[in-house]
Structure 1
């Protein structure tokens, strides 16, 4: 049954976790995701609950402590250990259902073809369920390590436009699990056993992107000011705004429809600071186009991370507040409890951003623009809501200044590329410090700015209409694949226990 000795399973899981991280940028060798999944599955075969926890913890730790090492850039090892440690534990707990799939399904349905088809479906569903839970729990979750997101540079990325990132994860894990089962039952004796996995691979490689409809073009300027926008950067009031203004100057000669600034491109609230409002008015009038800017804003007793559409002579005509502020970055959940554990560290987080409830969407003339502020790019609901509201392209505003010189920048850029492919829409991904890019609906790069340099882009951005299948059926795919797997495991477990009773 391919049950490795525990020591070998632990070693296999360790290597698998490291390989999975290498499938993401900065290394970005996407085929390693397949190898990593195989290692992860083989390490769980024949395990007890305790053994599954152990090998799952080793795999999860090898992946997460490597994958999010960028959290140490300014704050040191404590946040890194807390985040990676929590994700590793969740990964370990989520390994138990996969172990039970390998135990229960052959016991209830011992036939050869059930093992070659139904077992890979159940295993892939259990893996997908783990991703969904980790992407929503605790608090708003942290869906940063999804298998589907590792494929932004691969020919498989177009599959996400049909079934979303969740569906892509499922199909990749299914293909790996089916090929492993073919080897376990003896593919060398009957090549037909390779059919389920082989068909999955063919679909992954050959399925073209879901088509969207061309709807014209828009001339968009985007500005990377490279100002002192990091949490611990030394700066005087207005330095970030001045850096953005200076970097915007080369765009004055262009005929633009919109200018996009990054997250945190303004270090004062233009809704309450008259001087900042006058500066934005003068700039938008000088350019002759509206501005899409971002700042911390206050309304009543609440503080928000806000994108503002600023019209010449009118001011802010539309707002979008960040939907998922980052726990322990932009607010502290259960602050009194965590202050008891780490008062000095928690004390550094002075702001308490309130989650936004307004749509991630603004309209510039007749053109709909979908929005996502920084880490909101990893949350499906934000992206899908923008498309459903009528987005014809996306503007992703981010601030990577706290992670200069780390993999965080390129990982987030890869997620932006996957979103372009998934929705069939161009993306203007603009950062305070880089890397900034304009990405076409097929994922190719139209324009870009290097990290760590001030600059501006004036880009003709293609517009698209029509919803991809991923946007239309995405929630149903998650429900069926993830929670369907949970229901199937519960039924199988009940039958397996009943059959063992005398």
Structure 2
């Protein structure tokens, strides 16, 4: 344990290097290998300890950008929650290593361990309060040789692969048969050469996009209308140029055009001068509910809208407000607006082109992205507001997710931010055009359109869920078999 604890802590620190801004993808394999090594031979308390040490090395560093928004308490709370879930998830992995025979080979143990690791990712990505699937191992591989595997298996399957390869190297070493290590190496080479699943070209869409760099952070000093004014000023250079769609980021309209005629008139004028519809975003009020809404504004107003499906807990609404106000009333009191989860599809149609949508952190939820592709999306538009996290790695981590979504679905992505970074992304995940954070930009670019569904979209969460469920079943059977063996040994000793 004296060696395992610092090794696990080092593994967590190394894992952060796999994500932007550093983005060194091999670090994920090093980190996972160190994390698994420290679990071999551990008891349940020992597994909790080393799992927590790994998580304490990773999550506070990886999520430090949360501190920029509401201060240290939310950052510590989120990191502590994720670290606790990670530590609990280390227990079944340690049990798998304890219960598997030492001569179990180089195939079964890595598959079992990887299934249990992805189970942990599934749980933390869904619970509590819609979960936080931000730091999945697969998202660290967008610049690695296995990124295209996501088009076949999804991000969860890519996490599974990273853990399988790491655990296979460990198992080959434990078996003291180096030749067996050639098996996972050969598999890795084959997978690295496997191309992304092909989708079918369907033309191009000419998009104008604007990163206004206005005063759009939660605590920025501004008067009503300042964000829209900045957006209009930055858009001016694009008006009159040829485009099929003009895209503005999340929060680009700081008054409700559905209920404010003056705001609607401004958007009407932009559409008239741009000679193209505008995909804008605003907080909208319908009845007693407030929504974070993407609006496709045309000469007829907003005939198509999409409301954010997963408002951010403690950012866009406060779950169980009565409870948290009792703990930190001043902090919780800062969050006045309570967004309602949307129920309309993440999809709009421009002419005859269907576009999938995701608003800011909705990009991390697999079901939102999948719904767009299943609905016929030929490309995606992600609208985001990163202003609260200026100068941090948050927007770069979100960009990596957007690029991975392009690979998963085989579709282009326009990822447009208020303050940066903004990008046009090709279906293979490469960046076609971008604007740096903290700059004002207004560009026009063509993005490829695609049809056809990748296996990642068709199968959705099922491969990861089946792998995780199979791992749990296998672990239970191992436990039952081990218990039966112990009882037989006790009976023999008594006799």
**Residue aligned with 2:132, SS:** coil
1:142-291 aligned at under 5 Å gives the runs: 142-188=132-178, 191=179, 193-291=180-278
**Residue aligned with 1:319, SS:** strand
Q: Distance in 2 between matches of 1:41 and 1:184?
A: 12
Q: Distance in 2 between matches of 1:199 and 1:96?
A: 30
Identify the match of residue 281 of structure 2 among 281, 290, 294. Answer: 294
Q: For residue 111 of structure 2, what is the aligned residue in structure 1?
A: 121
- Offset at residue 308 of structure 1 (A): 0.7
1:1-40 aligned at under 5 Å gives the runs: 6-40=1-35
- Offset at residue 73 of structure 1 (A): 1.2
1:359 pairs with 2:359: no
- Offset at residue 105 of structure 1 (A): 2.0
Q: For residue 372 of structure 1, what is the aligned residue in structure 2?
A: 358
Q: For residue 3 of structure 1, what is the aligned residue in structure 2?
A: none
- Offset at residue 139 of structure 1 (A): 1.2
Identify the match of residue 72 of structure 2 among 67, 70, 77. Answer: 77
Structure 2: 5+ residue stretches without partners: 491-495
Q: For residue 65 of structure 1, what is the aligned residue in structure 2?
A: 60
Identify the match of residue 408 of structure 1 among 384, 394, 410. Answer: 394
Q: Distance in 2 between matches of 1:484 and 1:430?
A: 39
**Residue aligned with 1:242, SS:** helix
Identify the match of residue 303 of structure 1 among 274, 280, 290. Answer: 290
Q: Distance in 1 between matches of 2:425 and 2:150?
A: 16
Identify the match of residue 347 of structure 1 among 313, 317, 333. Answer: 333
Q: For residue 88 of structure 2, what is the aligned residue in structure 1?
A: 93
Q: Distance in 2 between matches of 1:153 and 1:254?
A: 34
1:424 pairs with 2:410: yes
1:472 pairs with 2:462: no
**Residue aligned with 1:293, SS:** strand
**Residue aligned with 1:327, SS:** coil
- Offset at residue 55 of structure 1 (A): 0.5
**Alpha-carbon displacement from aligned partner over 1:192-226 (angstroms, at most 9, x marks no partner):** x1243223312331111100000001110111111
Q: Distance in 2 between matches of 1:196 and 1:40?
A: 22
1:394 pairs with 2:377: no
- Larger CA deviation: 463-472 vs 473-482: 473-482
- Offset at residue 323 of structure 1 (A): 0.8
**Residue aligned with 2:52, SS:** helix
Q: Distance in 2 between matches of 1:203 and 1:32?
A: 21
Identify the match of residue 137 of structure 1 among 127, 130, 147. Answer: 127
1:384 pairs with 2:374: no
Q: Distance in 2 between matches of 1:54 and 1:429?
A: 40
Q: Distance in 1 between matches of 2:293 and 2:357?
A: 11
- TM-score, with normalisation over the residues of structure 2? 0.97
Q: For residue 439 of structure 2, what is the aligned residue in structure 1?
A: 453
Q: Distance in 2 between matches of 1:76 and 1:475?
A: 34
Q: Distance in 2 between matches of 1:187 and 1:439?
A: 44
- Larger CA deviation: 390-399 vs 195-204: 195-204
Q: Distance in 2 between matches of 1:46 and 1:223?
A: 55
- Offset at residue 478 of structure 1 (A): 2.1
1:494 pairs with 2:489: no
Q: For residue 493 of structure 2, what is the aligned residue in structure 1?
A: none
Q: Distance in 2 between matches of 1:335 and 1:204?
A: 47
- Offset at residue 175 of structure 1 (A): 0.7
Contact 1:448 1:457 in 2 (8 A): no
Contact 1:270 1:277 in 2 (8 A): yes
Contact 1:175 1:196 in 2 (8 A): no
Q: Distance in 2 between matches of 1:21 and 1:389?
A: 35
- Offset at residue 115 of structure 1 (A): 2.9
Q: Distance in 2 between matches of 1:241 and 1:170?
A: 44
Contact 1:222 1:261 in 2 (8 A): yes
Q: Distance in 2 between matches of 1:136 and 1:340?
A: 25
Q: For residue 309 of structure 2, what is the aligned residue in structure 1?
A: 323
Q: Distance in 2 between matches of 1:127 and 1:263?
A: 34
Structure 1: 5+ residue stretches without partners: 1-5
**Residue aligned with 2:159, SS:** helix
Q: Distance in 2 between matches of 1:317 and 1:203?
A: 48
**Residue aligned with 1:307, SS:** strand
- TM-score, with normalisation over the residues of structure 1? 0.96
- Larger CA deviation: 273-282 vs 446-455: 446-455
- Offset at residue 61 of structure 1 (A): 1.1
**Residue aligned with 1:116, SS:** coil
Contact 2:240 2:275 in 1 (8 A): no
